[in-house]
Amino acid sequence: MHVLVTGANGFVGAALCKKLLENGESVRGLVRGTSDLSLLEGADITLEYGSLSDRESLGRAAAGADLIFHVAAAVSDWGSMAYFRSINVEGTRNVLDAAAAAGVKRVVLVSSVAVHSFIDARNMDEGSPQEPTPYPYCQTKREAEALALDYHHRGGVEVAIARPGDVWGPGDRTSLLKMASMLKNGAMGYIGGGRKLGAFSYIENLVDGIILCGYRAEAVGEAFIITDGTQMTWRTYFEKLTDAIGVPRPRFSLHPALAWGLASLMEAVYSLFRISSRPPLTRYLVDHMRCDTHFSIAKARKLLGYEPAVNTDEGIRRTAAWFRSVVGDGKK
């Protein structure tokens, strides 16, 4: 099978490409000309340079593909609605148009459990409420899903949707490496004591679930939450991780109300002075950490045969080993 992966150089995209190669697929990856390709080192894939806004490059990349995994997206807790819509919504539209024009059989949209926003609940599922949200990432992921399903129902191309949670594991440059100095210096902290549950998706488990969305007939026209199926708090996760790396456990915690106030102040200052970089603390992050964000994976288990293969302790061991190989001994 000939497969195209958008965002092939990213944390999820690169792991997905490598797993597809292990499965014997012929893999093409869409990347930007400025992309860091280090996570794809040694992977025998064909690179197509372009972007989600470049319809011509998408047409070239989609030509001859049987299946597209649309992973590329704007993933952040900071930025304008216009920016997120241009990538997450219009970019998805361009991918779907390219797929239809090329005769691609199926597109798997990699979305997020963030479509449910933050409602402090456990055992949510694919049909749980999607309350109004002020966050561009959550809103544009919802819009991308609606666009893709509408395209599917109109007969444009088969669509399946995978909703990852908080993705973690080896190769995580998106969040873990950015926290490296804080971890090594013992400067990490919690919000609300870290007592809330996260929706953890270990990278290898996640790509297994995403691939099932591409392979299984039962996935067509459906959305699936793909997490580790665990009930783990942020405190437990960070204590396990810091112990395995060999750095101090997080030592302090902010009350959610105080954290919210600080985040609001920082965002106001950054907006007033038109600072383009992300504030150190955002309302999105505070909302995420002060709410239980826990989901059932019963639907993926039943319809896809999905079963997380890597348990938490093994995932922590692998993640810590990778972290040390990249940044060195955490004690230094």
Structure tokens at 246: 């060999």
4, 64, 63, 67: which is closest to 31 by C-alpha? 4
18, 19, 105, 141: which is the annotated catalytic residue? 141
Coil, helix or strand for 111? Answer: coil
Cα–Cα distance list, 163 to 124, 201, 287, 329 (Å): 12, 10, 19, 34
142, 170, 181, 220: which is closest to 330 by C-alpha? 181
What is the number of other CB atoms lying within 10 angstroms of the CB of residue 233?
A: 17
With beta carbons less than 8 A apart as the criterion, state whether 163 and 223 touch. yes
User: How many helices and strands, by DSSP H and E, does the chain display?
Assistant: 12, 13
Structure tokens at 7: 């965002």
User: Is 141 assigned a catalytic role?
Assistant: yes
Cα gap 254→256, rounded to integer Å: 6
With beta carbons less than 8 A apart as the criterion, state whether 4 and 68 touch. yes
Active site residues: 141
